[in-house]
């Protein structure tokens, strides 16, 4: 018994030491604010394109596809998924800052475009460009990377093959779904799998081409997408008092439970070094996230300002932050059983803004949520994927088997996760909920 107690004591001391070390990383002197891509100014986007073009010219950009491919089998389907992609994304951002210190990676809040993704500004010629040409190896014909020769793995054009009919992209997960995900994912690895098997996979599949290969970082859409996945993680980390340093689960090809002391595959840092934005090597934050004092202790410092914004790191009192009351009025009028099952924060009166996926509100293009007692009338969409009821939320699809196999996911786990959010969509549609997005 004494020996067992000693082992537990050693484990506790080691765990406490790791946690303390992670929490004592040096505070960043300046913070980059990652903006939603629709909120970048023309000058900012021109700068970003210029930096990426220079990185491609110098052979710097393709290195990230190589890292991702080499580590692919280790960094998907387990808790390492979140910290690895956080590290990979900030790695590219830091390389970009060598060319221009104001460089940053915007995030694309893809859920806002869930009904008709192909109509997003992201796929316009001034941004990433559109679908590939099926008569020319599916090479893209416009956009940021048009004309680039991607050297990894073999020299080729950047390819895209949108996954809907007639050059469209299948609908994916809505802001309402992501709000439910933030509120119902109580443990870190449950949050990770919920994100990885839903929005994460759906956007990769929507792009097709390089984005559905192990070397998906060839497409800059990868970084816009994973910046957004990282933003969702940061919101979740600040959504409850015990979330910030929470980490655990079983990583692929590893034995034992995942620990903050684990080394990140492909990088020299520990997982614990990837847990707090604004500290250590993570000198950035997001324009819609609120790092809550009560959940991050001394994390805030109003003297720390961003390199590409005059806004202070502490945004808790910003008038731009939505408290979830006004713009989620429709969700709040759902039945008690639906709220308890899918939106427990509403039931408990929890107005932490990190529990609501409402980044689009800052752009002033979103109307109030509404829920009507009758089911909405059916009407056909004017464009995009198929003909459907525009007001009713579309049911998400199960990822194809080839995508599941490539990532070595458990098909049962993927199907169970997707069905969880299909049940949410059915419940919202049955109550006549109408999304403003």
Cβ distance 276 to 23 under 8 Å?
yes
Residues 103/308, Cβ–Cβ less than 8 Å = no
- pLDDT at position 252, please? 94
When the pLDDT of each residue in the chain is averaged and rounded to a whole number, the result is: 85
The ranges assigned to domains in the chain are: 18-318
* pLDDT tier, 8 (very low <50, low <70, confident <90, very high otherwise): very low
Contact assessment for residue 115 and residue 134, using Cβ atoms and an 8 Å cutoff? no
* Confidence category of residue 290, pLDDT binned at 50, 70, 90: confident
| pLDDT recorded at residue 9 | 45
Contact 63, 254 (CB under 8 A): no
By the 8 A CB rule, do 295 and 280 touch? no
Grade residue 24 by pLDDT with cuts at 50, 70 and 90.
Answer: confident
pLDDT for position 242: 95
pLDDT for the residue numbered 330: 77
Which carries the bigger pLDDT value, residue 88 or residue 23?
88
β-pairing verdict for 284-286 and 32-34: parallel
Express each pLDDT in 87-111 by its tens digit.
Answer: 999 999 999 999 999 999 999 999 9
Helix axes 221-237, 175-184, angle to 10 degrees: 40
pLDDT number for residue 389: 56
Helix, strand, coil in percent for the chain, rounding step 5: 45, 5, 50
Question: Quick check: 118 and 170 in contact, CB under 8 A?
Answer: no
pLDDT at residue 327, as a whole number: 55
Q: In the structure encoding, which two tokens stand for residue 349, read together?
A: 């009166």
Weakest-pLDDT range from 2-11, 36-45, 238-247, 305-314: 305-314
Strands (E), 239-316: 284-286
CATH number of 18-318: 1.10.1280.10
Asked if 176 and 393 count as a contact pair (C-beta separation under 8 A), the reply is yes
Tokens of 378: 């059916």
DSSP single-letter state for residue 159: B
Over residues 391-410, the pLDDT tens digits come to 789 999 999 999 999 999 99
Residue with tokens 């929005």: 199
pLDDT at 130: 98
The residue with tokens 């939106």 is 343
CA–CA dist 423, 94 (Å, integer):
41
pLDDT one-digit tens code per residue, 214-234 = 999 999 999 999 999 999 999
Average pLDDT over residues 190-215: 99
249, 83 Cβ separation under 8 angstroms: no
Categorize the per-residue pLDDT at 380 as very low, low, confident or very high, splitting at 50, 70 and 90: very low
Output the pLDDT for position 190. Answer: 98
| Cα(371)–Cα(432) distance, integer angstroms | 6
The pLDDT value recorded for residue 23 is 65
Q: How far apart are CA 87 and CA 96, in angstroms?
A: 14
pLDDT of 253 reads 87
Q: Between these two residues, 160 and 319, which has the higher pLDDT value?
A: 160
3-state secondary structure of 279: strand
Sign of CA dihedral 215, 219, 220, 225: negative
Q: Mark 339-351 as b/e (b = at least 16 C-beta within 10 Å).
A: bebbbebbbeeee
Beta strands in 248-352 (DSSP E): 284-286
Burial category of 388 from C-beta neighbours within 10 Å (exposed 0-12, middle 13-18, buried 19 and up): middle
Contact of 74 with 68, CB cutoff 8 Å: no
Among the residue ranges 12-16, 84-88, 280-284, 362-366, the one predicted with the least confidence is 362-366
Lowest mean pLDDT among 314-318, 394-398, 416-420: 314-318
In contact, 23 and 277? CB cutoff 8 Å: no
Residue 308 binned pLDDT confidence (cut-offs 50, 70, 90): low
Residue labelled with tokens 């009166």: 349
pLDDT in tens, 56-89: 999 999 999 999 999 999 999 999 999 999 999 9
- Tell me: the pLDDT tens digits for 109-167? 999 999 999 999 999 999 999 999 999 999 999 999 999 999 999 999 999 999 999 99
> Could you tell me the CA-to-CA distances from 269 to 19, 256, 262, 280 in Å, in that order?
14, 19, 9, 10
Residue 435: pLDDT band (50, 70, 90) is confident
Of residues 98 and 307, the one with the higher pLDDT is 98
Confidence of residue 309 (pLDDT cuts 50, 70, 90): very low
Residue 120 · residue 135 · CB < 8 Å:
no
Residue 414 three-state SS:
helix
Mean pLDDT of 367-387: 42
CA distance 211 to 159: 8
């Amino acid at each position: 018994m004494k020996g067992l107690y000693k082992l537990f004591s050693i484990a506790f001391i080691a765990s406490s030491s790791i946690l303390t070390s992670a929490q004592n990383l040096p505070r960043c002197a300046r913070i980059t604010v990652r903006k939603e891509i629709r909120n970048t100014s023309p000058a900012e986007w021109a700068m970003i394109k210029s930096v990426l073009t220079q990185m491609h010219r110098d052979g710097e950009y393709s290195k990230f596809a190589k890292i991702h491919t080499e580590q692919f089998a280790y960094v998907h389907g387990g808790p390492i998924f979140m910290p690895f992609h956080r590290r990979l994304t900030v790695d590219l951002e830091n390389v970009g800052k060598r060319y221009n210190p104001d460089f940053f990676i915007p995030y694309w809040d893809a859920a806002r475009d869930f009904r008709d993704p192909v109509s997003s500004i992201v796929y316009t010629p001034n941004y990433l460009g559109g679908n590939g040409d099926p008569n020319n190896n599916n090479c893209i014909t416009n956009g940021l990377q048009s004309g680039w020769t991607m050297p990894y793995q073999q020299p080729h054009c950047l390819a895209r093959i949108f996954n809907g009919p007639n050059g469209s992209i299948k609908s994916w997960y809505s802001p309402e779904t992501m709000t439910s995900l933030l509120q119902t994912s109580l443990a870190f690895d449950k949050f990770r799998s919920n994100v990885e098997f839903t929005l994460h996979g759906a956007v990769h599949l929507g792009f097709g081409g390089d984005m559905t290969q192990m070397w998906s970082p060839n497409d800059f859409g990868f970084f816009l997408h994973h910046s957004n996945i990282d933003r969702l993680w940061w919101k979740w980390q600040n959504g409850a008092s015990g979330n910030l340093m929470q980490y655990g689960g079983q990583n692929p090809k590893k034995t034992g439970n995942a620990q903050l002391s684990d080394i990140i595959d492909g990088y020299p840092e520990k997982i614990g070094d990837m847990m707090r934005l604004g500290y250590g090597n993570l000198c950035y934050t997001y324009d819609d996230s609120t790092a809550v004092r009560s959940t991050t202790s001394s994390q805030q410092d109003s003297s720390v300002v961003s390199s590409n914004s005059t806004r202070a790191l502490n945004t808790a009192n910003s008038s731009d932050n939505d408290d979830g009351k006004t713009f989620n009025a429709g969700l709040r009028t759902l039945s008690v059983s639906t709220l308890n099952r899918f939106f427990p924060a509403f039931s408990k009166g929890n107005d932490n803004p990190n529990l609501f996926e409402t980044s689009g509100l800052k752009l002033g293009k979103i109307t109030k949520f509404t829920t009507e007692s009758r089911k909405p009338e059916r009407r056909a969409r004017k464009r995009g994927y198929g003909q459907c009821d525009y007001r009713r939320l579309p049911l998400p699809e199960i990822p194809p088997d080839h995508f599941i196999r490539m990532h070595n996911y458990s098909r049962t786990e993927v199907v169970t996760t997707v069905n969880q959010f299909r049940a949410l969509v059915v419940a919202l549609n049955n109550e006549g909920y109408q999304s403003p997005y």
